[in-house]
């Protein structure tokens, strides 16, 4: 066999090897298992912060403001911001805190702080404060099989291909959220709905995956109902 022919055969072997590698990467994701794909996606929800525009709708009224959101494995805080004047820093007009308890703070609407929030944490929501390792170990098989996690009336739906969280629903309360992503897999928007005439949609301009420093809001005791408060505000 001539040297030229040997080189030609070697070139074909290299090309075929590269072609086989390309095929395997397209079909097998470079050997990444379904459990690894699920854990990678859940890991993104452990600790992160984001900011953008929030659209609030209540009883036919609409409000658009800037927001900042921070979540860790222990708690979560959402601040709806008023624009600062003459370059001053924006101040929260409404703040929500979720950890061992649920709390609201609103210099703009002090009546919100009087709402009864005791035992108002939706069932199943605390799963968002579990580690990705725990969730995959405990529920991974079910999620991979059904592309969903169902507990009593609480349901989380996952994208069948990459296990991105698509929606979270609570049948009993009628509340839930829908999640959209950019083409690069970053958070694009989160829409929050409830069985009351109140909803919100967060449009993300930026998202960072790190452990944020979250300052809890003080826990307050009250017996005021949200619907009663809205009726009092809107009555003629």
Are residues 190 and 95 part of one domain?
A: yes
Are residues 18 and 87 part of one domain?
A: no
The residues pairing with 149 across neighbouring beta strands, listed in sequence order, are 156
CB 113 within 8 A of CB 104: yes
Are residues 26 and 135 part of one domain?
A: no
Are residues 166 and 61 part of one domain?
A: yes
Are residues 52 and 12 part of one domain?
A: no
Are residues 16 and 49 part of one domain?
A: no
Residues 6 or more apart whose CB falls under 8 angstroms from that of 98 comprise 75, 76, 77, 121, 125
Q: Helices 132-146 and 34-43 sit at what angle, rounded to 10 degrees?
A: 130
- 143-179 confidence digits (pLDDT tens): 999 999 998 778 899 999 999 999 988 877 778 899 9
Cα(143)–Cα(158) distance, rounded to whole angstroms? 8
Are residues 13 and 39 part of one domain?
A: no
Whether the per-residue pLDDT at 24 is higher than 80: the answer is no
* pTM for this prediction: 0.75
- pLDDT > 90 in the chain, percent: 41
CATH no. for residue 201?
2.50.20
Q: How many distinct structural domains can be found in the chain?
A: 2
Cα(47)–Cα(42) distance, rounded to whole angstroms? 10
Are residues 200 and 153 part of one domain?
A: yes
CB 83 within 8 A of CB 68: no
The band of 230, judged by pLDDT with boundaries at 50, 70 and 90, is: very low
Are residues 127 and 81 part of one domain?
A: yes
Are residues 125 and 18 part of one domain?
A: no
Are residues 173 and 60 part of one domain?
A: yes
Rounded average pLDDT over 111-137: 67
**Residue 190 belongs to domain spanning:** 35-234
The winner for highest mean pLDDT among 2-16, 20-34, 97-111, 148-162 is: 148-162
Are residues 82 and 18 part of one domain?
A: no
* CB hemisphere CA count around 90 (13 angstroms): 14
Rounded average pLDDT over 105-119: 62
The band of 7, judged by pLDDT with boundaries at 50, 70 and 90, is: low
pLDDT of residue 176: 86
């Amino acid at each position: 066999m001539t040297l030229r022919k040997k080189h030609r055969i070697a070139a074909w072997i290299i090309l075929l090897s590269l072609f086989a590698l390309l095929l395997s990467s397209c079909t097998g994701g470079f050997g990444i298992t379904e459990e690894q794909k699920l854990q990678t996606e859940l890991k993104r929800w452990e600790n992160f912060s984001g900011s953008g525009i929030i659209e609030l709708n209540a009883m036919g009224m609409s409000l658009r403001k800037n927001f900042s959101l921070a979540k860790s494995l222990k708690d979560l805080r959402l601040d709806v911001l008023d624009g600062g004047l003459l370059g001053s820093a924006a101040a929260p007009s409404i703040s929500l805190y979720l950890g061992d308890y649920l709390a609201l703070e609103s210099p703009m609407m002090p009546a919100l702080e009087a709402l009864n929030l005791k035992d108002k944490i939706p069932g199943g929501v605390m799963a968002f404060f579990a580690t990705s390792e725990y969730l995959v170990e405990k529920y991974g098989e079910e999620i991979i099989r059904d592309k969903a996690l169902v507990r009593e009336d609480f349901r989380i739906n996952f994208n069948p291909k990459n296990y991105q969280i698509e929606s979270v629903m609570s049948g009993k309360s009628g509340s839930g959220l829908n999640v959209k992503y950019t083409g690069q897999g970053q958070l694009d928007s989160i829409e929050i709905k409830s069985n009351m005439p109140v909803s919100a949609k967060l449009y993300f301009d930026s998202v960072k995956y790190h452990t944020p420093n979250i300052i809890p809001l003080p826990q307050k005791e009250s017996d005021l109902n949200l619907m009663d408060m809205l009726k009092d505000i809107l009555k003629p």
